[in-house]
Structure 1
Amino acid sequence: MISQEARDLFTANVAAMTAGDAPHLAVQVLPEGVNRRKDIAYIDDGSEAHLLDVYTPADAEAGTKLPVIVDFHGGGLYYGNKENNECRDMLLAKQGFAVVNANYSLVPSVSFPAQLKDAMAVLDWIRDRGAEYGLDAERVCVTGDSAGGALALYLTAANGSPQLAGALGLKPSGVDVKALVVTSGMFRLSGGVHATALSYYMEGYLQTPADRIKITPYLDLDKLIVDGAVPPIYMITSVEDFIADNTYELARILHARHKDHAMSVWPKGTERALGHVFNIVQAGDPEAAEAHQVVRDIADYCKHYI
């Protein structure tokens, strides 16, 4: 059961985040030279939550299969849609990728395990249908920002480990994800400096005893990394990111477990604040040099592994 207090918190946060995103989305400049195929169903049930977009360079040769970046938007697992990330993902496509920008079902309509099933279904769609859209299912990277980064981390850890996938009620897609890139990752779903707020969110994240049995052991990120099989991970944060501690914690664990990883921590901005998920929020501003550099950094990291 989700308390009314928790439901009210989700509702208030969605309203605040919608209002916060509206100004930059209204004035963003979408890049030219990118083809967009919008609102493709990866689960054929008529739900907007199960739609994705594919962005490809307009100058890509016909019949060429492109390396893929799959993106899961942020929003605390209860807010957002693919349109919030469209501009940044189109910029990634200009770097020579087919970018799959996917919606997924949101809390509190569903819980976190159901969101993981949606995310795995996106990989299944790439495996089964990607070739129709010029996607190379042998060269796939995954990215996510904020809570979308948590979704991407759990997804890739389970996708590479039948043991973990079974524990989470998932079936690996068979797609060999080559790398994971996370911006301002909200990896900690409980505890830490935001423990009070997360205790309310957890009512939506894990709504049933079955949900808690599946996920609770893996709220320990060390156990997730040990039992899972994560690909190389590139983490991006900044000193002005209010949850930068999440990235530092995951980096410590990855280092201790000898997992291939890299991390960029951007300093305080001079021309503009480089806050939470700044490379997405500022992607539509042609003058936001730091955001555009992060896009190139993400592309370079993925190219290294594919």
Structure 2
Amino acid sequence: MISQEARDLFAANVSAMAAGDTPHLATQVLPEDVERIKDIAYVDDGDTNHLLDIYRPAQAGASGAAKLPVIVDFHGGGLYYGNKENNECRDMLLAREGFAVVNANYRLVPQVSFPDQLNDAMAVLDWIRDRGSAYGLDTGRVCVTGDSAGGALALYLTAANGSAQLAGALGLRPSGLDVKALVVTSGMFRLAGGVHATALGYYMEGYLQTPADHIKIDRYLDLDKLVVDGGVPPTYMITSVEDFIADNTYELARILHARHKDHAMSVWPKGGERVLGHVFNIVQAGDPEATEAHQVIRDIAGYCKHYVCK
């Protein structure tokens, strides 16, 4: 049961986040040398939250003519806000680096809970497995990325996709795709506790809405347990000293190091001409002068290339 107080918090945050995104989305410059295939249903139920886009470099030729390595992206927004259009420019720039980028919507809290969102995310991988080849996707070379809360979704997804044990505990079935790498920007990995525990206490009413939700997820709010039981692929984490949840990245990096998991981390220093804040490589992607954001995009592509080209 979600209290009215929690519903009001979600609604207020959605309004504030939409207002914050409007200026940069209105002025962003989209690359002209990337083709877009918009609004493909990955679940055939008429829900706009079950649509994805595919971006490919135009020089790759007609869709399906050349198989490209894949980056699957899940947008941020606290699990209760956002859509694929928020990440479109950044993902088109990633595609320019030689990838087919799948940019997917998923259902949002409080209409659904976090386990439902994990089902949506796995359904995206299932769609790539079954239909991706027709769109020029090399289903043997897949990476996953996410930012902020989309990073949490991507982390839990890839951990479950790589472990039948964890997938079963979360009520999922692995897609069968071999996800080569995970890249997360400003990951909101902590869904409970930490320095933001008070706010997260309200959000948790939406994240886990039923006893069944808690049974699936509660034990895996412990990120160490998630890493130990899951099959997390090589992971690249990106944050900055101006990122208000940078502590989440530091915590996951500590756990991955302690558990001897392949990982890398970039922490950007304080910006000069512009603030390098939360998910800055996404919100600044549409500004041709945002050199740091564009370098991060190249770094993400480079990390993925290292694993898909082995």
Q: TM-score range by the shorter chain?
A: over 0.9
1:86 counterpart letter in structure 2? E
- Cα distance in 1, alignment partners of residues 3 and 9 from structure 2: 10
Provide the aligned C-alpha RMSD in A: 0.4
1:126 counterpart letter in structure 2? I
Seq. identity, %? 85
Q: What's 1:21 paired with?
A: 21
- Cα distance in 2, alignment partners of residues 73 and 127 from structure 1: 21
Q: Classify the secondary structure of the residue corresponding to 1:171.
A: coil
- Cα distance in 2, alignment partners of residues 223 and 131 from structure 1: 35
Q: What's 2:165 paired with?
A: 163
- Cα distance in 2, alignment partners of residues 211 and 117 from structure 1: 12
Q: What's 1:107 paired with?
A: 109
1:20 counterpart letter in structure 2? G
1:41 counterpart letter in structure 2? A
Q: Classify the secondary structure of the residue corresponding to 1:201.
A: helix
Q: What's 1:229 paired with?
A: 231
Q: CA deviation at 1:61?
A: 4.0
Q: CA deviation at 1:32?
A: 1.2
2:57 counterpart letter in structure 1? P
- Cα distance in 2, alignment partners of residues 10 and 48 from structure 1: 20
Q: What's 1:33 paired with?
A: 33
CA deviations 1:193-239 (Å, max 9, x no partner) are 00000000000000000000000000000000000010000000000
- Decide which of 167, 179, 188 is 1:186's aligned counterpart: 188
- Cα distance in 2, alignment partners of residues 35 and 283 from structure 1: 17
Q: CA deviation at 1:138?
A: 0.2
- Decide which of 198, 213, 216 is 1:214's aligned counterpart: 216
1:257 counterpart letter in structure 2? R
Q: Does residue 93 of the first structure (1) align with residue 118 of the second (2)?
A: no
TM-score by length of 2: 0.98
Q: Classify the secondary structure of the residue corresponding to 2:60.
A: coil
Q: CA deviation at 1:64?
A: 1.0
- Cα distance in 2, alignment partners of residues 61 and 190 from structure 1: 46
- Cα distance in 2, alignment partners of residues 273 and 14 from structure 1: 22
- Cα distance in 2, alignment partners of residues 32 and 246 from structure 1: 35
Equivalent residues in 2 for 1:263-278, closer than 5 Å: 263-278=265-280
- Cα distance in 2, alignment partners of residues 26 and 33 from structure 1: 20
- Cα distance in 1, alignment partners of residues 265 and 231 from structure 2: 19
CA deviations 1:112-143 (Å, max 9, x no partner) are 00000000000000000001100000000000
State how many pairs are aligned.
306
- Decide which of 71, 79, 83 is 1:77's aligned counterpart: 79
Q: Name structure 1 gaps, 5 residues minimum.
A: none
Q: CA deviation at 1:83?
A: 0.1
- Cα distance in 1, alignment partners of residues 256 and 22 from structure 2: 36
- Cα distance in 2, alignment partners of residues 46 and 175 from structure 1: 26
1:267 counterpart letter in structure 2? P
Q: Classify the secondary structure of the residue corresponding to 1:40.
A: strand
- Decide which of 137, 140, 144 is 2:139's aligned counterpart: 137
- Cα distance in 2, alignment partners of residues 295 and 239 from structure 1: 18
1:236 counterpart letter in structure 2? I
Q: CA deviation at 1:42?
A: 0.1
Q: Classify the secondary structure of the residue corresponding to 1:59.
A: helix
2:39 counterpart letter in structure 1? D
- Cα distance in 2, alignment partners of residues 104 and 145 from structure 1: 14
TM-score by length of 1: 1.00
CA deviations 1:56-107 (Å, max 9, x no partner) are 0000045210000000000000000000000000000000000000000000
Structure 1 outlier segments of 4+, above 3 Å: none
1:28 counterpart letter in structure 2? Q
2:13 counterpart letter in structure 1? N
- Cα distance in 1, alignment partners of residues 85 and 35 from structure 2: 15
